[in-house]
């Protein structure tokens, strides 16, 4: 049985508590939160779980094998560092830290301590996202030209990090995973209307190797909840709507035929139609399942086997590097910023 302490029982933490509580391989021994009201709620729902405002109390408990961190992003580095120093495996919510040097240091500490360090990039445990990776890897889409990702809602409004760190962190993790690489540069514009210096909406473009582009629109100041992704390849195109429970993916058998074969001057509707292929739209069957459960399963498996997690510290670090470049570009009025 793997003993778990969850630090942070705000909006997201209870989902992690539930998953580790329900899994027969793990037992939630402690929940830590500095808000007494949150602890009271936990005590009511899980009477056997010990609660405290102080993470160190749980980290001292020898029965605790793993620490799950779901506190605001600015607090991750110190809490994860302390957990690793106490010899615990760590699952930390995304993004891993607000500074790439801190993220790098956490990776090194985990390696030295031989502990699992995993980041909660939950979309990489989403079956539809995994299916898209298969389409890309097997050439179903052909050469990928670009991805467009829209992640909006009205709230929740953060005060520690901006909309890019909070929301676009998901999309960066997804595109890095799909392409199996990291972006080389970022440009971004944004607006901070509600809190000075904290962008409520960010419009960023990441440039990946081979000229692939990813455009990210992340906003918590928007009338509609949207989770829309489009991937355009030279053979096929697809859309991914994470809000659709039953039909999240659509594959469009659409393609622009070789433009060199089209007339130099296209002046009729018919000749324009001849330059594109407009075939079937396929809706693949995606089995239902809670991505967070798959993520928690994976963490427990990695602790058991010693395997590297799919979203380990290094993958988390890559996301932070891209976010830092977005941040620099925002401060520089949209200048293209290289990612080392």
Ligand X SMILES: NC(=O)c1ccc[n+]([C@@H]2O[C@H](COP(=O)([O-])OP(=O)(O)OC[C@H]3O[C@@H](n4cnc5c(N)ncnc54)[C@H](O)[C@@H]3O)[C@@H](O)[C@H]2O)c1
Hey, which bits of 248-302 come out as E strands?
249-256, 276-282
| Coarse DSSP helix, strand, coil percentages of the chain, rounded to the nearest 5 percent | 40, 30, 35
Q: How far is the CB of 93 from ligand X (least distance, A)?
A: 4
Least separation in angstroms between CB 269 and ligand X: 45
Q: Least Å distance between CB 92 and ligand X?
A: 8
Instruction: Decide if residue 120 touches ligand X (CB under 6 A).
Output: yes
Stretch that binds ligand X, among 7-15, 257-265, 273-281, 311-319 (CB under 6 A): 7-15
> Binding to ligand X by residue 200, rule CB under 6 A?
no
On whether the CB atoms of residues 118 and 297 are closer than 8 A, the answer is no
Return the axis-axis angle of helices 76-85 and 100-113, rounded to nearest 10°.
10
Is 34 a binding residue for ligand X by CB under 6 A? The answer is yes
Nearest distance from residue 167's CB to ligand X, in Å?
A: 9
Asked if 94 interacts with ligand X (CB under 6 A), we say yes
Sorted by sequence, the CB contacts under 8 Å of residue 72 that are 6+ apart come out as: 8, 158, 160, 161
Q: Write out the H or E segment, with its range, that includes residue 305.
A: helix 291-305
Is residue 7 within 8 Å of 29, Cβ to Cβ? no
Of the two residues 10 and 209, which places its CB atom closer to ligand X in the complex? 10
Which range binds ligand X by CB under 6 A, 71-79, 138-146, 219-227, 320-328? 71-79
Residue among 120, 126, 135 nearest 169 (CA): 120
Q: Which of 57, 61, 72, 127 binds ligand X (CB under 6 A)?
A: 72
Window 39-58: residues binding ligand X (CB under 6 A)? 55
Q: Which is nearer to ligand X, 93 or 324 (CB)?
A: 93
Which residue ranges make up the site for ligand X (CB under 6 A)? Answer: 7-13, 32-35, 38, 55, 70-73, 75, 93-94, 120, 122, 166
């Amino acid at each position: 049985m793997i003993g778990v302490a969850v630090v942070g029982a705000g909006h997201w933490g209870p989902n992690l508590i539930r998953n580790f509580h329900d899994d027969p391989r793990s037992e939630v021994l402690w929940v830590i939160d500095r808000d007494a009201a949150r602890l009271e709620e936990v005590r009511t729902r899980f009477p056997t779980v010990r609660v405290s405002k102080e993470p160190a109390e749980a980290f001292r408990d020898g029965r605790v094998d793993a620490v799950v961190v779901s506190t605001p992003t600015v607090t991750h580095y110190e809490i994860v560092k302390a957990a690793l120093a106490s010899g615990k495996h760590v699952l930390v919510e995304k993004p891993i830290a607000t500074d790439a040097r801190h993220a790098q240091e956490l990776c090194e500490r985990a390696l030295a301590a031989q502990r699992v360090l995993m980041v909660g990039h939950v979309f990489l445990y989403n079956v539809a996202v995994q299916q898209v990776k298969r389409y890309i890897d097997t050439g179903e889409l052909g050469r990928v030209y670009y991805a467009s990702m829209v992640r909006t809602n009205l709230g929740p409004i953060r005060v520690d990090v901006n909309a890019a760190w909070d929301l676009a962190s998901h999309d960066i993790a997804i595109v890095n995973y799909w392409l199996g690489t990291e972006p080389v540069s970022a440009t971004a514009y944004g607006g901070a209307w509600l809190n000075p210096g904290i962008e409520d909406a960010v419009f960023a473009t990441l440039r990946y190797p081979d000229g692939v582009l990813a455009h990210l629109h992340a906003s918590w100041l928007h009338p509609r909840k949207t989770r829309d992704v489009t991937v355009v390849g030279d053979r096929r195109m697809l859309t991914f709507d994470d809000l659709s429970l039953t039909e999240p993916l659509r594959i469009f058998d659409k393609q622009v035929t070789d433009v060199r074969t089209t007339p130099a001057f296209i002046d009729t509707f018919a000749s324009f139609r001849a330059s594109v292929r407009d075939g079937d739209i396929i809706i693949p069957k995606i089995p239902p399942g809670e991505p967070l459960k798959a993520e928690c399963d994976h963490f427990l498996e990695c602790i058991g086997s010693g395997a590297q997690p799919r979203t380990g510290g290094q993958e988390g670090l890559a996301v932070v590097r891209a976010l830092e470049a977005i941040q620099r570009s925002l401060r520089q009025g949209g200048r293209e910023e290289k990612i080392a």
